[in-house]
Structure 1
Amino acid sequence: MKDEQGRVISQVSRRVAVGDEIFTAEGRHYRVVKIQGNTASARFVGMDKDLLAYNEFYSHLEVPVTLMARDTRPVGIYHTHSDESYVPTDGSESRPFKGGIYQVGETLVSRLKNKGVRVDYDKTPHDPHDDNAYYRSRRTAMRLMQNNPIAIFDVHRDGVPDPSYYRRSISQQQVAQTRLVVGRENPRMQANLDFAKRLMSYANTVHKPIVKEIFTAKGNYNQDLMPTALLIEAGTHTNTKVEAEKGIALLADAVPVVLGLAGPAPAGAPKPITDRTARTPGSWKALGWIVALTLLGGGAFLLISAGSWDRAKSRLGDFFGREFTSFFAPRRAKKPDLDTAEKATHVPVPGREDPDANETARDHLERIRQD
């Protein structure tokens, strides 16, 4: 991915689509506008205000050495691509059903537990590594949801060939950086993205720059299940597994504080985006298209079945005439003329006195009054 000046701003081993976005650790925001072969051209949108605000806030946040847990909800962890491995240490980039990614997940689990965080780790494999893996892993994510998690992490590794792209010396260790991935095609996208921004901001305050960037990609990644669902990429397949483990352990240090599970109550923090405040113009746009296509399809069917515009308009008029008549008619029926009914009980019939008839009329009037 290159900017307008042709400089490489990111590398990814996945399908990239126009509209995908990159948020760098410094707060720079890019959006993909063109794709040609294996190169995506991205336009600089500007400095992201939310990231700048979070960077400023977390840089002044003082966290005590001993963290006191305030929430008992677990963090859910699983692996959609359970075969992913690290070539230098695992011998292959893929080990079906027993990928090296499991050891990276174990490191994340262990680090979180040492911080006093409850963890629900599901090791269900979802091989093969294909486009349907996310459909299979959704069942796992749904099982994790049954335990009311505070967040869910789907842990992966990238497939960029160059190991130096992720390799950094951070906190006196040689580690593999992480990347946070947010799916653009889900109604909670803005809330997921906000969580990713907070996690990257604080993690990079503690261990700079352990989170390389945030990538918003075309897809869902099962992140519609909750606003704090993220996909984490721990290094790439050409990094060592040890580098990936060290990197994700440093990222774990930020999780309890950002989720509010431990540490101080951050007064004055920028208000996070939640489901109620999430800005999802895409979902409204999609709804508009659905309504428009439904009306268009219905109109086309009516025209074809009628055979002409005049007959179609006539049928449409008859339909709405019947519907409105049936809608208002019952309301008019509920308002009988009581005066007329009452007079009917006392009107004499010339030449005949029929008390039974008058009694029937009075009974009818009583039923009307009761109604």
Structure 2
Amino acid sequence: MADIKSSYIGMDADTLLSYCYNATYPKCVKKDELDAENLLGKDLSLDMDTGGYKVLIYHTHGSEAFADSRPGEVDDTVIGLGNRLAEILTDTYGIPVYHDTTAYDMMTGVLDRNASYDYSREGVSQILKDNPEIEVIIDLHRDGVPDDTHLVTDVDGKPTAQIMLLNGMCRDEEGNDVDYWSNDNKVDNMAFALQTYLAGRANYGDMMRKIYISTSRYNMDLMPHAMLAEIGAQTNTVEEEYNAIEPFAAMLAKVLLK
């Protein structure tokens, strides 16, 4: 796969923010966190000598579905996408994956996305305790967009859902730190997202939307190499969603394998 990291290493913080990020509240990310040389110089490769699972895929909003999803069909939700991603990472790239298929937004039997991050935090924390060899966690979602927005591009002649990665900065809209959202792994989270984003841009162009900068935390403090990925949106078809998974796996492997 092509690599364009070197052309970004010398960028100043403002240019990097403009080129690679979508920040509704730009004050919540600090210039020293947008140090391109630091973010792109971090070695994110997995230690494949320890055995056990290396990547955990889970779904805080496991019930998220798509434009033509069949009601009650798990394969037509983000959990189905997680199954496919786990399969490719394991079979094609030799990366052992633990896929947590819990729908954390349905823990009470009805849809509840307000408490879902609390539920997923508890579940993921237990999985990490039981599987200390895990080095990467990926919370796989799809975005929610206006009904007239269609996040699709062409990859190898196939209609393919676009991908957006997200960084939670644990600050309010004015850039003030929020204590109950503390995250000592924030810069490492940013490095993982940026390196994956650039691997995607280098090889799949506009399949990658700019990295979204949010005020929140999204449980990304649980692991230095934590990612929240939005694969398409509710207006994409199931086919478009699945077409995005093989390229997504390839860009992850580009970053995670030596």
- The answer, yes or no, to whether TM exceeds 0.5 is yes
Q: 2:163, 2:230 within 8 Å by CA — same for their partners in 1?
A: yes
Alignment partner of 1:100 is 2:93 = no
Name the SS of the counterpart of 1:80 in structure 2: coil
C-alpha distance in 1 between matches for 2:213 and 2:243: 25
C-alpha distance in 1 between matches for 2:157 and 2:74: 34
C-alpha distance in 2 between matches for 1:156 and 1:222: 14
Among 104, 112, 120, the residue aligned to 2:89? 112
C-alpha distance in 2 between matches for 1:152 and 1:229: 5
Matched positions, count: 212
Deviation by residue 1:173-207 (Cα, 9 ceiling, x = unmatched): 21001111122122321211111101111122222
1:139 maps to: 122
Match runs of 1:251-266 below 5 Å: 251-259=248-256, 261-262=257-258
C-alpha distance in 1 between matches for 2:38 and 2:201: 13
Among 223, 226, 232, the residue aligned to 1:226? 223
1:83–1:31 CA distance, 2 compared to 1 (3 A): closer
Match runs of 1:52-201 below 5 Å: 54=40, 70-71=48-49, 72=51, 73-90=53-70, 100-113=77-90, 114-126=92-104, 127=106, 128-146=111-129, 147=131, 148-162=133-147, 164-185=149-170, 186-201=183-198
C-alpha distance in 2 between matches for 1:51 and 1:177: 27
C-alpha distance in 2 between matches for 1:163 and 1:90: 21
Residue 165 of structure 1 and its aligned partner are, at CA, apart by 4.2
C-alpha distance in 2 between matches for 1:232 and 1:129: 20
Match runs of 1:11-30 below 5 Å: 23=17, 26-27=19-20, 30=23
Match runs of 1:184-333 below 5 Å: 184-185=169-170, 186-259=183-256, 261-262=257-258
Residue 33 of structure 1 and its aligned partner are, at CA, apart by 6.3
Structure number with the bigger relative contact order (C-alpha 8 A, sep ≥ 6) is: 2
C-alpha distance in 1 between matches for 2:158 and 2:37: 26
Q: 1:109, 1:119 within 8 Å by CA — same for their partners in 2?
A: yes
1:165–1:50 CA distance, 2 compared to 1 (3 A): farther
1:32 maps to: 25
1:231–1:27 CA distance, 2 compared to 1 (3 A): closer
Tell me how large the CA RMSD over aligned residues is: 3.1
TM-score normalised by length of structure 2: 0.72
Larger Cα-atom Rg = 1
Letter in 2 for 1:175: T
Gaps in structure 2 of 5+ consecutive residues: 1-15, 42-46, 171-182
C-alpha distance in 1 between matches for 2:70 and 2:148: 15
Q: 1:51, 1:197 within 8 Å by CA — same for their partners in 2?
A: no
1:171–1:85 CA distance, 2 compared to 1 (3 A): same
Gaps in structure 1 of 5+ consecutive residues: 1-21, 35-41, 58-68, 263-371
